[in-house]
């Protein structure tokens, strides 16, 4: 039977980053997954390291927007009727948390993590030999109308107050940055402090390779076998059980499968999302991801092609895929950029693990000594994986933390 100082469960970007930060601090660490590193949610995201993020994604405002979603005509959101009754309490909490003063609570709580996002990735990429995936060219948000641009003015005002760089651009100025975009939009904003990657799964794999090089163990096993064994946590894997005093749950959308039976029930839901790659016509290209705020999709240049990603789908995590949003946004995406044939026959689907206040949980599991939580990174798991991993490793090793971990505590849901 193997024994390590720590077991990290889940080798997505969040678990890989946590395992790497622990091993870099001298702990012996086993990283356990039932698949290869970065093959689930961390495979298919839009690759944006959103260091500039201020507000959480707002709950739709106004009758017209809600009606459009209800009638399944909204490009940015879809739902399965069967999932709605179970989601109502979470949706009401989510709605309250994205309004008024609470929207600012998110900004204040999350700024220290976002502010570290790009630098933490850059440091790990340099060490892991993965810098070739990084583009420090920011991202562009585009707006088709004066009204949709004006509706997001608060974000830009707050960015100015906090000293975050952003540049509002005319269509011509935008096309100077991205000549392949058609001038179908009215405004754009360039956020230069964000970064992006050309292959999110390869970045996670590179971090796991570095982890192995530094002495970390990668094991194939089912995290749900985690159990107490005296003063240790034990998990089964292909090479027999492994024990450690410390276990970290970094299972993203699957964390409740393990935590529920342990009696830890936190308000996590999933926002499913899809992607499909398309060939670019002729020499058309993009140097950075483009987010179309009116139609709720992102177009991100990837090694596999132009990755078109969709907004949120509220459905059971394991329910059959219904990639209708790809079809809803495709005409707008094609009007914006000359997309050619699809690369894969079927879209990819993933599940963003999202707490009702959109913040992750990073810290000790209530009532279970030695058990730590690092999950629920919602729309920003790629962005925040390395910063979260650093914070968690600092907490576990008793070092000074680079920011106050209280806003990410599981205890915030106790009442």
> How many residues are there in the chain?
415
Taking CB under 6 A as the rule, does residue 197 contact ligand FAD?
no
Q: How far is the CB of 275 from ligand FAD (least distance, A)?
A: 5
Q: How far is the CB of 251 from ligand FAD (least distance, A)?
A: 4
Taking CB under 6 A as the rule, does residue 15 contact ligand FAD?
yes
DSSP reduced 3-state for 279:
strand
Taking CB under 6 A as the rule, does residue 41 contact ligand FAD?
yes
Closest to ligand FAD by CB, 172 or 318:
318
Q: Exposed, middle or buried: residue 87 (CB in 10 Å: 0-12, 13-18, 19+)?
A: middle
Taking CB under 6 A as the rule, does residue 273 contact ligand FAD?
yes
What does the alpha-carbon distance between residue 232 and residue 5 come to, in Å, rounded to a whole number? Answer: 10
Taking CB under 6 A as the rule, does residue 305 contact ligand FAD?
no
Q: How far is the CB of 38 from ligand FAD (least distance, A)?
A: 7
What does the alpha-carbon distance between residue 57 and residue 149 come to, in Å, rounded to a whole number? Answer: 16
Closest to ligand FAD by CB, 26 or 261:
261
Taking CB under 6 A as the rule, does residue 52 contact ligand FAD?
no
Pick the binder of ligand FAD from 75, 252, 256, 305 (CB under 6 A). Answer: 252
And the tokens for 80?
Answer: 């399965």
What does the alpha-carbon distance between residue 214 and residue 265 come to, in Å, rounded to a whole number? Answer: 35
Q: How far is the CB of 308 from ligand FAD (least distance, A)?
A: 10
Q: How far is the CB of 388 from ligand FAD (least distance, A)?
A: 9
Taking CB under 6 A as the rule, does residue 227 contact ligand FAD?
no
Q: How far is the CB of 79 from ligand FAD (least distance, A)?
A: 16
Closest to ligand FAD by CB, 122 or 186:
122
Q: Are 149 and 185 in contact (CB under 8 A)?
A: no
The dihedral through the CA atoms of 32, 33, 37, 38 has a sign that is negative
Residue 159, φ and ψ in degrees, nearest 5? -60, -40
- Which stretch in 122-130, 175-183, 247-255, 365-373 sits in contact with ligand FAD by CB under 6 A? 247-255
Tokens 């895929």 correspond to 321
Identify the bridge partners of residue 176 per DSSP, sorted by sequence position.
none
For residues 183-212, one letter each, b for 16 or more C-beta atoms within 10 angstroms of the residue's C-beta and e for the rest, the string is eebbbbbbbbbbbbbbbbbbbbbbbbbbbb
Taking CB under 6 A as the rule, does residue 256 contact ligand FAD?
no
DSSP reduced 3-state for 399:
coil
Closest to ligand FAD by CB, 173 or 303:
303
DSSP reduced 3-state for 411:
helix
Q: How far is the CB of 205 from ligand FAD (least distance, A)?
A: 11
Q: List contacts with ligand FAD (CB under 6 A).
A: 10-15, 33-35, 39-42, 44-48, 50, 222-224, 250-254, 257, 273, 275, 309, 350, 352-353, 375, 377-383
């Amino acid at each position: 039977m193997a024994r390590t100082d720590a077991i990290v469960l889940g080798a997505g970007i969040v678990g890989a980053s946590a395992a790497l930060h622990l091993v870099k601090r001298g702990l012996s660490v086993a990283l356990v997954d039932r698949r290869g590193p970065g093959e689930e949610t961390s495979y298919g995201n839009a690759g944006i390291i959103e260091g500039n993020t201020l507000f959480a994604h707002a709950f739709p405002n106004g009758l017209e927007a809600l009606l459009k979603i209800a009638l399944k005509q909204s490009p940015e959101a879809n739902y399965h009727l069967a999932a709605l009754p179970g989601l109502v309490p979470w949706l009401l909490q989510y709605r309250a948390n994205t309004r008024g003063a609470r929207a600012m609570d998110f900004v204040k709580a999350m700024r220290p993590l976002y502010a570290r996002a790009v630098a933490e990735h850059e440091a790990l990429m340099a060490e892991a030999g993965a810098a070739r995936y990084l583009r420090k060219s920011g991202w562009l948000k585009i707006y088709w109308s004066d009204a949709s641009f004006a509706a997001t003015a608060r974000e830009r005002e707050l960015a100015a107050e906090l000293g975050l760089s952003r540049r509002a651009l005319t269509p011509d100025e935008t096309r100077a940055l991205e000549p392949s975009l058609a001038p179908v939009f009215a405004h754009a904003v360039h956020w230069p402090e964000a970064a992006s990657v050309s292959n999110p799964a390869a970045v996670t794999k590179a971090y796991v390779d570095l982890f192995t090089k530094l002495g970390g163990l990668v094991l194939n096993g089912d995290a749900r076998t985690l159990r107490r064994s005296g003063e240790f946590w034990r998990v089964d894997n292909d090479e027999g059980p492994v024990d450690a005093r410390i276990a970290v749950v970094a299972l993203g959308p699957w964390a409740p499968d393990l935590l529920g039976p342990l009696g830890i029930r936190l308000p996590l839901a999933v926002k499913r999302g899809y992607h499909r790659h398309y060939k670019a016509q002729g020499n058309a290209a993009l140097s950075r991801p483009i987010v179309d705020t009116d139609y709720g999709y992102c177009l991100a240049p990837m090694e596999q092609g132009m990755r078109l990603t969709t907004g949120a789908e509220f459905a059971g995590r394991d329910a059959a895929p219904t990639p209708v949003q790809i079809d809803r946004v495709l005409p707008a995406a094609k009007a914006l950029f000359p997309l050619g044939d699809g690369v894969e026959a079927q879209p990819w689907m993933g599940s963003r693990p999202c707490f009702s206040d959109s913040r992750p949980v990073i810290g000790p599991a209530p009532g279970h000594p030695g058990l730590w939580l690092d999950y629920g990174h919602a729309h920003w798991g790629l962005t925040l994986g390395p910063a979260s991993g650093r914070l968690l490793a600092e907490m576990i090793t008793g070092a000074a933390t680079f920011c106050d971990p209280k806003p990410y505590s599981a205890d915030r849901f106790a009442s």
